[in-house]
Amino acid sequence: MNLVPKVAIGLMSGTSCDGVDAALIETDGERIFSRGDNCFVPYEVSEQDTLKSAMRQIASTRGMEQRLDIASSVEVLIGEKHHLAVEALLQKAGKRKEDIDIVGFHGQTLFHEPDAGFTLQAGDGDKLSRELEIPVVYDFRSKDMKYGGEGAPMVPVYHHALVHSLVAENKLSLPVAVVNIGGVANVTYVGSNVDSTTDDQRHSLGMLAFDTGPGNALINDWVKTRTGAIMDEGGCYAASGVVDEGGVRAFLNEPYFKTMPPKSLDRDQFKVSDMGHLSLEDGAATLTEITAQTIALSRGFMDPLPKHWIVVGGGAHNKELMRRLSDAVGQSLTVAESLGWQSDALEAEAFGFLAVRHLANLPFSFPRTTGVSKPVSGGVLAGEFA
């Protein structure tokens, strides 16, 4: 296939609901030619509360029509923020809309229930394309679920491209684990040589990927409830606390952690009970340890174990979480920036990458990343693409 490089903007608003990341990337859907500027447009605290309230309402409602009505009530907010993010990025990069071939618009995940074959990302891709006057690819997850997949995670094929570009430059050796710590944490294990001819390589590019458990969500919610702050900045509260070891052990007994991947989670799937007696600091320490230990449990599905652990996402800024995760996996961690990656922009870059793969009809869901029956592409194109 003769793949043509495209200039794409990727947009991502994750389960942390903190804001919208936008990033420029030039790619042909396989090779990454450049990763450009990025920017972040935050949701105001009241807007975060609105989105999280919509998530809770949808989770407690069983009727499909009611769920869609709730989602539609926040679509204007979501669309406005994503539009602002594109405009801010164009201004920062000194680009015009005519310079952009495609936008990858993930939308805001409000609900995810793969066992029921249902996932809901709010955001009107057609409207965004009309307003921007740029073609937009959106609704990345539905086709995956149509073919029996979990609908998540979507980013592993981009992790694969990043890892193999460094392997080709002799800067990394396989196997490698890429851990993305957002509201939910997920891992991509890249375990086979790019030239492998095994069945696994042809069907999943040597990848295994799945959600490991909570990322920042439980920590953020704990801190916000008790202080009003949106996060444990740098892990300061957790670093001052004492872990409730019994609480951690009880959490690790959840059946999810013994379930074979592929598997995925909703942001609010896990609740932590019996923590009301803990101080702010002890609760933060306990939840931070839970995130670290549940990521470490992912090693049980990796053979051989990774030579490198690369951490991306907001959790990479939490020094206490990084310390606990390093202890839990028994290895030093590599922060994405030390490899030249842009940790905060990586998921946004990924959806620009996936939008270009959509145009080339290249797959981005695989049997060992989402559980699809065969490798499939996905997404819906809005606007005219020349």
The tens digit of pLDDT for each residue in 308-344 reads 999 998 899 999 999 999 999 999 999 999 999 988 8
The tens digit of pLDDT for each residue in 118-157 reads 888 999 999 999 999 999 999 999 999 999 998 888 999 9
Domains in the chain, CATH or no CATH each:
6-152+345-382 (3.30.420.40), 156-339 (3.30.420.40)
pLDDT of residue 203: 63
The tens digit of pLDDT for each residue in 68-81 reads 999 999 999 999 99
The tens digit of pLDDT for each residue in 31-45 reads 999 999 999 999 999
Q: What is the pTM of this model?
A: 0.88
pLDDT score of 246 more than 50: yes
Q: What is the 3-state secondary structure (H, E, C) of the chain?
A: CCCCCEEEEEEEECCCCCEEEEEEEEECCCCEEEEEEEEEEECCHHHHHHHHHHHHHHHCCCCHHHHHHHHHCCHHHHHHHHHHHHHHHHHHHCCCHHHCCEEEEEEEEEEEEHHHCEEEEECCHHHHHHHHCCCEEECCCHHHHHCCCCCCCCCHHHHHHHHHHHHHCCCCCCCEEEEEECCEEEEEEECCCCCCCCHHHHHHCCEEEEEEEECCHHHHHHHHHHHCCCCCHHHHHHHCCCCCHHHHHHHHCCHHHHCCCCCCCCCCCCCCCCCCCCCHHHHHHHHHHHHHHHHHHHHHHCCCCCCEEEEECHHHHCHHHHHHHHHHHCCCCEEHHHHCCCHHHHHHHHHHHHHHHHHCCCCCECCCCCCCCCCECCCEEECCCC
